[in-house]
């Protein structure tokens, strides 16, 4: 039986990847190189610090010592300042199609809901989207020490929901490969949001929530179990 549904934020509830991309591209241009949308795909679900490492690798600054730790921290902070500026202008109209309806259906079925995100900006985004009330628990990048594919964020969600919910009673909705792996590593069910080519480890993959019902998802999870 599924007792809890845990949702990733970026790419599942809202498309923030375009804002992350704008901010990372701005940093890359300051450093004198182009960062493409294809390069940006590698940053999905990845922590801010690791994202910076990947960006610097793309720019040819991959070697240890190319920048000091202080310089790297300053770069990550600059990028985040721009990102916060961009997401501060978001409105509920940017919530991905069908997500709110899906969350409501899950809750009406008596299933607890949680948000499990790597982002340290989760609070700002939830405020802008005005959907904080749809989650019984929120765990973000400020609350965990190990990032996805480690299952810590999702296991913390399950324990914060209380009621002794077991990992096997949780289903995670994720758009990033690292997130799908985190869910499976935690012993949870996982529905991929995106393409089944990249999200191979998910039990079921849908392209988004539009036209997808909780009842349908639940039935399919039961048949693949
Ligand atoms: C994830 C995004 O949800 O959060 C990543 O998919 C991002 O692209 C990560 O790097 C950390 O986000 P933030 O807001 O803490 O920089
Ligand atoms: Mg995501």
Per residue, the 3-state secondary structure of 128-178, as one string, reads HHCCHHHCCEEECCCCCCCCCCCCHHHHHHHHHHCCCCCHHHEEEEECCHH
State whether residue 115 is helix, strand or coil: strand
Q: What is the pLDDT of residue 223?
A: 65
Q: What sign for the dihedral angle of Cα 124, 164, 109, 1?
A: positive
Mean pLDDT by 10 residues, the chain (225 residues): 97 96 98 95 90 96 85 97 97 98 98 97 97 97 94 98 97 96 97 93 96 96 69
Say which of 8, 39, 140, 175 is annotated catalytic: 8
The residue nearest atom 2 of ligand 1, judged by CA position, is 45
Q: What sign for the dihedral angle of Cα 2, 4, 150, 207?
A: positive
Interatomic CA distance for residues 155 and 182, integer angstroms: 10
Ligand 1 pocket, residue 48 CB under 6 Å: yes
pLDDT in tens, 70-108: 999 999 999 999 999 999 999 999 999 999 999 999 999
Query: Is 8 an active-site residue?
Result: yes
Atom from ligand 1 closest to the CA of residue 76: 16
Q: Is 183 exposed, middle or buried (0-12, 13-18, 19+ CB in 10 A)?
A: buried
Q: What is the pLDDT of residue 77?
A: 98
CA of 91 to the centre of ligand 2 (A): 19
For residue 139, give both structure tokens. 């765990």
pTM summary value: 0.95
Query: Is 15 an active-site residue?
Result: no
Q: What is the pLDDT of residue 54?
A: 95
Neighbours of 39 (CB within 10 A): 18
Which of 22, 46, 194 maximizes ligand 1 atoms within 8 Å of its Cβ, making it the mutation to test the pocket?
Answer: 46
């Amino acid at each position: 039986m599924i007792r809890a549904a845990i949702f990733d934020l970026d790419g599942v509830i809202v498309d923030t990847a375009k804002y992350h991309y704008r901010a990372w591209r701005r940093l890359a241009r300051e450093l004198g190189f182009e960062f493409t949308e294809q390069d940006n795909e590698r940053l999905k679900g990845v922590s801010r610090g690791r994202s910076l490492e990947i960006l610097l690798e793309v720019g040819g600054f991959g070697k240890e010592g190319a920048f000091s730790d202080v310089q790297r921290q300053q770069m990550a902070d600059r990028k985040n300042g721009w990102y916060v500026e961009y997401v501060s202008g978001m409105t509920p109209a940017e919530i991905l199609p069908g997500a709110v309806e899906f969350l409501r259906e899950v809750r009406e079925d008596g299933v607890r809901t949680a948000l499990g995100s790597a982002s340290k900006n989760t609070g700002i985004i939830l405020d802008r989207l005005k959907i904080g009330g749809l989650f019984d628990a929120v765990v973000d990048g400020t609350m965990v020490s190990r990032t996805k594919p480690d299952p810590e964020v999702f296991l913390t969600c399950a324990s914060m929901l209380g009621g002794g919910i077991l990992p096997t009673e949780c289903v995670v909705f994720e758009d990033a490969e690292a997130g799908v792996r985190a869910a499976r590593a935690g012993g949870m069910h996982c529905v991929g949001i995106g393409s089944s080519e990249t999200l191979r480890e998910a039990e079921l993959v849908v392209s988004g929530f539009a036209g997808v019902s909780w009842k349908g998802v639940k039935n399919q999870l039961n048949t693949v179990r």
